[in-house]
Amino acid sequence: MSPLLAMFVAERLVKLSGVDLAIIAFYFLLVLVIGFYLKKFANTGEDFFLAGREMTAWVAGLAFVSANLGSLELLGWAGSAYQYGIMAAHWYWVGAIPAMVFLGLVMMPFYYISKTHSVPGYLKLRYGTEAAGLSAITFAVMTILMSGVNMYAMAVVMKVVLGWDINFSIWVSSLTVGVYVAAGGLFSAIFNEVLQFFLIWFGALLIPILGLIETHGWAGMVARIQQNFPGQDFTHMWAPMGSFANNPMGINWIGIVFGLGAVQSMGYWTTDFLVVQRVLSARDIRSAKLAPIIGSFFKMAVPLIVILPGLLGLAVLPMHLVPASDLQAGQHSYNEVLPLMLARYCGPGLLGLGITALVAGFMAGMAGNVSAFATVWTYDIYRPYLNKTAPDKHYVSMGRWCTIIGLIISIGTAYLVMGFASIMDYVQALFGFFIAPLFGTVLLGMLWKRVTRWAGFLGLLAGTLSSLTMFLLMHKIDPDKWVPIFARSPLAKGLAQDMYQSLWACVTCVVVTVLVTLVTKPKPDQELVGLVYSLTPIAHEEHASIFHKPAFWGAVAMVLFVVLQIIFW
Amino acid sequence: MSEKHHIIPVWFFVGVLLFVYGILIFISGIAELSHPPDTVLSNLHAPVWWGALLIVLGGAYCLIFRPKNT
């Protein structure tokens, strides 16, 4: 049995009835119908890769937040909530909301005004082909790897929860995704993400509702957790952050505020092209600014269907879940808390809805990564380096073929994943070392016109290499020696190490970029118009009412965010 | 969203999905009224009211965003 499969139980958790199967089958049918319907609208490059740039702020905002609401996140963070308590919500609040508002109000105008197709596309305009090429190649590898991991994780969950054959799940899901993304491009991916958003909410929302009824409310839940796990604090977010020893994650407030909030979260939400591509599909600059802010309100609510079920699991499940590495026959791992809660409350029909939500989440994860891969390959690798002068139709055709080829490589990746012990940790770390320095490069490029072509490239390279080095030192070479140095405490667990690794990688990128900038020649101002803050006339909405201004809603989101921190302090 | 291409709004498809699921879940909830499944709080008959909610929401989305209105 593969190690990832062993993370879950060996026996199937639930048995589906006819109505459950009908619900799953209808979902597959509907996404295929939508894919074929949208094919006729995806004719030009802008249509296929940017959904025609005609999405409303609401559609772009929901797709933006949905691209990060895949089933890997649902299962993983519900498991983390069981393991670490409500501290896991940091990844939904301080680890998302400020960055989303920042993207909408500060960074989106530059992406949108420069009319780029992608984040590497912006780097090409701002710095040149070196930084753009490095970013495009790393990103293409990441998307394929993530697509394959989504595919394999879905197959594992289907195997464990339903007893389905792994090969069957991999091939059916990838064929379906391949057909509808190759047909409708980003149109299909975004439509599917919006469907997935509703499915996940309606499929998972019953768990906290029924859970809170069973525990007689929040206070009853807290009392039961204290009874089941005496002496442990699972229901406060910031109070245990005073020192590394006070919480099970082995992290302090500096790691959360600066590592997660200031670097990793900012890096992910503002430079990861998978999510930024959704906002670039907005129909005008106001919609593009508003989309991430709309997304931030939904993101704030997601802990209700992810973190709360994990906490309720601590309160109501008759057994104690264990880490995947300590799993023995008859036990359940943290990762199973969401399926266990689903099976606890949901009978025929509702169970099918919950399982369909998980399937949709995995498939949207694949579709999002594959559509981002097709864009980055076609516009940032194929067109600038291999075929500069082909007509638009050729690039659309290349995008369609890339979708299929990307999925075939993803299938290979999915089978490859079976041989690795903790692939999810590796993917998270890989993602971290790429995204954190990229944030430094993009932000400096947007805010400081002096930054030079070579400073951008060398800063990004140095940040990425330093992050890779830290990862190898902390995970492979000598954890006992290097974890206390980089993560500032021998108690730091995986997530805490990731946060500090991101922080130092970004600092390295910024320091190298600044130093190289000081000794190299800057680009002339006229080449930076529309790309740098001081040289770009930003369109303001002077004539819009306050309720139509993104800045107003950004402020509301930040106030709500602060209120939530105080409530769950 | 559909100004340039006149695409059926995604909300209509959301409505179809919720409406069909609502009907399936509501019917299965009615069918199990006399024989509740072996789940916690099955006495609350969640599929009946959850299915009804999906029917109402899905129906409203279908009606508001039906293609001829776009």
Asked if the Cβ–Cβ distance from B46 to A350 is below 8 Å, we say yes
User: CA torsion, points A376, A382, A387, A391, in degrees to nearest 10?
Assistant: -40
Q: Which of A27-31, A138-142, A421-425 has the lowest mean pLDDT?
A: A421-425
- Give the pLDDT mean for A441-453: 90
Q: How confident is the model at residue A7 (pLDDT cuts 50, 70, 90)?
A: very low
In our burial notation (b when 16+ CB lie closer than 10 A, e otherwise), range B12-34 reads bbbbbbbbbbbbbbbebbeebee
Using the Cβ of A34 and the Cβ atoms of chain B, whether some distance falls under 8 Å is answered with yes
Asked if the Cβ–Cβ distance from A347 to B18 is below 8 Å, we say no
pLDDT at A11: 55
A260-296 residue pLDDT tens: 887 778 888 887 777 787 888 788 888 888 889 999 9
- Please give the residue that has the higher pLDDT: either A567 or A149: A567
- From the number of C-beta atoms within 10 Å of its C-beta (0-12, 13-18, 19+), residue A461 rates as middle
Hey, what are B14's tokens?
């959301």
Cα maximum dimension of chain A: 70
Average of per-residue pLDDT values in chain A = 83
Q: Is residue A564 part of a domain?
A: no
Place of tokens 């409500």: A86
Residues 6+ apart with CB under 8 A from A557: A97, A100, A101, A293, A296, A297, A300
CB A195 within 8 A of CB B13: yes
pLDDT at A300: 93
pLDDT at A240: 78
What is the SS3 assignment for A488?
A: coil
Count of C-beta atoms within a 10 Å radius of residue A392 = 13
pLDDT at B39: 84
pLDDT at A427: 59
Q: Is residue A331 part of a domain?
A: no
Closest approach of B28 to chain A, Cα-based (Å) = 6
CATH code of residue A108: 1.20.1730.10
Residues 6+ apart with CB under 8 A from A404: A178, A182
pLDDT over 90 at A379, yes or no: no
pLDDT at A508: 93
pLDDT at A463: 92
Closest approach of B63 to chain A, Cα-based (Å) = 17
Distance CA A568, CA A508 (A): 34
Distance CA A242, CA A474 (A): 24
pLDDT over 80 at A229, yes or no: yes
Nearest CA to A476 out of A426, A541, A401 is that of: A426
Using the Cβ of A210 and the Cβ atoms of chain B, whether some distance falls under 8 Å is answered with yes
Nearest Cβ partner for B28 among A19, A210, A213: A19
What is the SS3 assignment for A55?
A: strand
Q: Which of A227-231, A249-253, B52-56 has the lowest mean pLDDT?
A: A249-253
- Give the pLDDT mean for A156-179: 79
pLDDT over 70 at A358, yes or no: yes
Q: Is residue A552 part of a domain?
A: no
- Give the pLDDT mean for A435-442: 85
A155-165 residue pLDDT tens: 777 776 777 78
pLDDT over 90 at A339, yes or no: no
Nearest Cβ partner for B4 among A52, A191, A344: A52
Q: How confident is the model at residue A1 (pLDDT cuts 50, 70, 90)?
A: very low
pLDDT at B55: 96
Closest approach of B43 to chain A, Cα-based (Å) = 11
pLDDT at A381: 85
Closest approach of A351 to chain B, Cα-based (Å) = 10
- Give the pLDDT mean for A451-474: 91
Question: For testing the chain B interface, which of A17, A195, A198 should be mutated: the one with the most B CBs within 10 Å?
Answer: A198
- Give the pLDDT mean for B30-34: 87
Q: How confident is the model at residue A430 (pLDDT cuts 50, 70, 90)?
A: low
Domain boundaries defined on chain B: 10-69
Question: What does each C-alpha distance from A2 to A18, A159, A423 come to in angstroms?
Answer: 30, 12, 11
Distance CA A534, CA A531 (A): 9
Cα maximum dimension of chain B: 52
What is the 3 state secondary structure string of A212-244? HHHHCHHHHHHHHHHHHCCCCCCCCCCHHHHCH
pLDDT over 90 at A171, yes or no: no
Q: How confident is the model at residue A421 (pLDDT cuts 50, 70, 90)?
A: very low
Provide the 8-state DSSP code for A321.
-
Asked if the Cβ–Cβ distance from B41 to A198 is below 8 Å, we say no
Provide the 8-state DSSP code for A117.
S
Distance CA A180, CA A512 (A): 43
pLDDT at A264: 79
A48-60 residue pLDDT tens: 777 767 778 888 8
pLDDT over 90 at A61, yes or no: no
Nearest CA to A4 out of A207, A154, A192, A197 is that of: A154
Nearest Cβ partner for A198 among B4, B14, B37: B14
- Give the pLDDT mean for A4-27: 72
Closest approach of B64 to chain A, Cα-based (Å) = 16
In degrees and rounded to multiples of 5, residue A349 shows phi and psi of: 90, -65
Instruction: Tell me which chain A residues have a C-beta less than 8 angstroms from the C-beta of B8.
Output: 37
Nearest Cβ partner for B32 among A38, A56, A347: A347
pLDDT at A183: 82
Instruction: Tell me which chain B residues have a C-beta less than 8 angstroms from the C-beta of A38.
Output: 7
pLDDT over 90 at A258, yes or no: no
A316-334 residue pLDDT tens: 998 888 776 677 777 777 8
Highest average pLDDT, of A8-12, A414-418, B55-59, comes from: B55-59
CB A309 within 8 A of CB A74: no
Domain residue limits at A468: 3-323+336-536
- Give the pLDDT mean for A490-509: 82
Nearest CA to A443 out of A102, A98, A129 is that of: A102
Domain count, chain A: 1
Q: Which of A269-278, A344-353, A356-365, B11-20 has the lowest mean pLDDT?
A: A269-278
CB A488 within 8 A of CB A251: no
Q: Is residue A512 part of a domain?
A: yes
- Please give the residue that has the higher pLDDT: either A387 or B62: B62
Nearest Cβ partner for B25 among A190, A198, A349: A349
- Please give the residue that has the higher pLDDT: either A249 or A99: A99
Q: Is residue A12 part of a domain?
A: yes
Instruction: Tell me which chain A residues have a C-beta less than 8 angstroms from the C-beta of B67.
Output: none
Taking each helix axis from N to C end, the angle separating A166-204 and A392-417, rounded to the nearest 10 degrees, works out to 100
pLDDT over 70 at A10, yes or no: no
Closest approach of A359 to chain B, Cα-based (Å) = 15
